[in-house]
Homo-oligomer: A and B are copies of this chain.
């Protein structure tokens, strides 16, 4: 995968995104960024695209402009959307319960926005921003099951208060789209875009 790739920098502290790049054999460096995550955009696809762009550009700022390497920065953001409402990470267990209770027995969407930012040879920054949507169906859950899941500790750092790659797998009836998009990065689309952008000089 890495032959024609640039030096790739992941502008994210998410261990899940790191694991996904490792899984498909893409060498990368990590650069956690503190991008402003406040957003007024209510369309989930546009919201994640905008936040991914901020993260990628914030990461790019930290790289010296005179670097000789061809550098490619990945920014990504994931949200859960249900009936037009965006669910981010829960602030406490009560909010996690409310989120999970609103998802159980129904279908919802997960959006991940990705920006690949590249400093090209003349110093300018080229951005490729895109998103992927996955439909997720959760089986009906009792209140006891929801609290039992919250007790695992998994919900607190995750959009929509669940991790499809963890114990919540027991409650996922099925999905439609890219599974890894729900984990936090649309791996297949990202690899294709990375390859296309690496070839562009």
Contact = CB atoms under 8 A, between A and B. Distances in A.
A170 B24 contact: yes
A178 B174 CA distance: 4
Contacts of A178: 172-175
Nearest to A132: B174
A25 interface: yes
Interface stretch (A46-54, A56-64, A184-192): A184-192
User: Which secondary structure dominates chain A's binding surface?
Assistant: mixed
18 contacts: A1-B148, A20-B169, A23-B166, A23-B167, A23-B169, A24-B169, A24-B170, A25-B152, A25-B170, A169-B180, A169-B187, A170-B191, A172-B187, A174-B178, A175-B176, A175-B177, A175-B178, A179-B179
Given A175-B176, A175-B179, 12 more contacts: A20-B169, A23-B165, A23-B167, A24-B169, A24-B170, A25-B152, A134-B174, A172-B180, A173-B178, A174-B177, A174-B178, A175-B178
B173 A176 contact: no
Contacts of A97: none
Interface of A: 1, 20, 23-25, 134, 139, 148, 152, 164-167, 169-180, 187-188, 191-192
A170 B24 CA distance: 6
Nearest to A24: B170
Contacts of A25: 152, 167, 170
A172 B134 CA distance: 13
Contacts of A179: 164, 172, 175, 179
A191 B177 CA distance: 23
Contacts of A171: 188
